[in-house]
Structure 1
Amino acid sequence: MPDVVIRKTLMQVETIHHEGGPPSEVPQRRAAAMAVIENPYAGGYHEDIAPFMKDLEPLGAELAQALIDALGGDPSVVEGYGKGAIVGVNGEIEHGALWHVPGGYAMRDAIAESKAIVPSTKKVGPAGTRLDVPVTHTNASYVRTHYDAIEIGVPDAPRPNEIVLALVMTTGGRPHARIGGLQKEDVKGEDGLR
């Protein structure tokens, strides 16, 4: 199996006090951890790519912990998450799909109350491509207040033979959420949905 060759990692953190309404008692924090890696499958079609997911597991765990640390070090404050990948133009969309298992399970293993599926997105694009990474509640996908996205991107990546891998976490739902639906305090936590 190929080695995971990392060119660089990046972290972005936001603290949102309000979105035009009254300031929140507790500001929402959002973070995205990204790694720019060499795409070992760029430039040609390779039938058996699935084993590379196992190689990506340590990177997933490292980025998940970096997010928790960036949000204050307490995994219990994490309420939302998502993952994404931007594949350089010499690769294919399926190379981004290699991040599904190692990225998603790394976050689910690192935080409490994480029965919900980790939403994801991926695309192929040149350096500087931006990606909206979807976010949902960690324990119940139907909590509408946490339907959101975090935009990520790296100015000089992905180069044609690279992949940008991203994990995102939030400490709460959208500021000023008020469209109803299942509330986080009403989550049963039985099936990842409600």
Structure 2
Amino acid sequence: MTEFTLRKTMIFLEDIAHDGGPVATVPRRRGAIVALVRNPYAGSYTADIQPGMEALKPLGLMMTDRLIEVMGGREGIDGYGKAAMCGTRGELEHTALWHVPGGYAMRERLGEALAIVPSAMKQGGPGSRIDVPLGHINAAYVRSHFDAMEVGLPDGPRDDELLLALAMSCGPRIHDRVGGLAVSDIKAMDGLR
């Protein structure tokens, strides 16, 4: 079995009261959790890396559960995203292993999440930052929820590690006003467009 030994996790949580305009009645909450794991594929080419997705599923669920808890529970979470960064001995393709375990864990735990989970991938070293894209959980075209949350750790990813990230948000951007599909107008199949 492929092993992604966990070195550490870190949680980021912020409440946004305003963004240059009046103070919002309800602050917008954004949270993220990142994990640094050993990349078992670093330093050499492995043709079949798909078993790595199965091996990462428990980590995806654990990270999702912890993030939901810190966010104050499932109620109100209506945005999500994921990202992965490999160290310098990894391949960008190694970061793609996070698509299934990260995305499906959030969709499973949040329930009725229909939209694709936005994603970002890159290669970097210790101290590198990555923007985790955020979008509405039920419709990809809800502009009020387009956002990103920057995360990173000063000591990772090391050259043989992966930094895996999940992010969630509650509510639209503060004072969103650029139109598009409104949350109140989402129909059952809007998650697919």
Please report the TM-score for the alignment, with normalisation by the length of structure 2: 0.97
Structure 2 counterpart of 1:165: 164
Structure 2 counterpart of 1:136: 135
Structure 1 counterpart of 2:61: 61
Structure 1 counterpart of 2:40: 40
Report the Cα distance in structure 2 between the residues aligned to 1:42 and 1:96, rounded to whole angstroms. Answer: 11
**Unpaired segments ≥5 residues, structure 1:** none
How far residue 191 of structure 1 moved from its aligned partner, in angstroms, is 4.1
How far residue 2 of structure 1 moved from its aligned partner, in angstroms, is 1.7
State the number of aligned residues. 193
Q: Helix, strand or coil: the match of 1:100?
A: helix
How far residue 193 of structure 1 moved from its aligned partner, in angstroms, is 3.9
Name the aligned partner's letter for residue 132 of structure 1.
Answer: D
Q: Helix, strand or coil: the match of 1:139?
A: coil
> What stretches of structure 1 move > 3 A for 4+ residues in a row?
none
C-alpha distance after superposition, 1:100-159 (max 9, x if no partner): 000000000011331000010110111111101111000000100001101011111000
Report the Cα distance in structure 1 between the residues aligned to 2:157 and 2:134, rounded to whole angstroms. Answer: 22
Report the Cα distance in structure 1 between the residues aligned to 2:144 and 2:79, rounded to whole angstroms. Answer: 10
How far residue 94 of structure 1 moved from its aligned partner, in angstroms, is 0.4
Report the Cα distance in structure 2 between the residues aligned to 1:115 and 1:76, rounded to whole angstroms. Answer: 16
Structure 2 counterpart of 1:91: 90
Pair 1:52-2:52 in alignment: yes
Asked whether the equivalents of residues 113 and 189 of structure 1 are also in contact (C-alpha less than 8 Å), the reply is no
**Unpaired segments ≥5 residues, structure 2:** none
When the two chains are superposed, the root-mean-square deviation of aligned CA atoms in Å is: 1.0
Residues 193 and 21 of structure 1, relative CA distance in 2, 3 Å threshold = farther
Report the Cα distance in structure 2 between the residues aligned to 1:13 and 1:42, rounded to whole angstroms. Answer: 31
How far residue 24 of structure 1 moved from its aligned partner, in angstroms, is 1.1
How far residue 25 of structure 1 moved from its aligned partner, in angstroms, is 1.2
Share of identical aligned residues, percent?
A: 53
C-alpha distance after superposition, 1:152-171 (max 9, x if no partner): 11111000000000000000
Q: Helix, strand or coil: the match of 2:95?
A: helix
Report the Cα distance in structure 1 between the residues aligned to 2:183 and 2:111, rounded to whole angstroms. Answer: 14
Report the Cα distance in structure 2 between the residues aligned to 1:112 and 1:21, rounded to whole angstroms. Answer: 33
Please report the TM-score for the alignment, with normalisation by the length of structure 1: 0.97
Asked whether the equivalents of residues 37 and 162 of structure 2 are also in contact (C-alpha less than 8 Å), the reply is yes
Report the Cα distance in structure 2 between the residues aligned to 1:112 and 1:77, rounded to whole angstroms. Answer: 12
Structure 1 counterpart of 2:114: 115
Structure 1 counterpart of 2:26: 26
Asked whether the equivalents of residues 140 and 190 of structure 2 are also in contact (C-alpha less than 8 Å), the reply is no
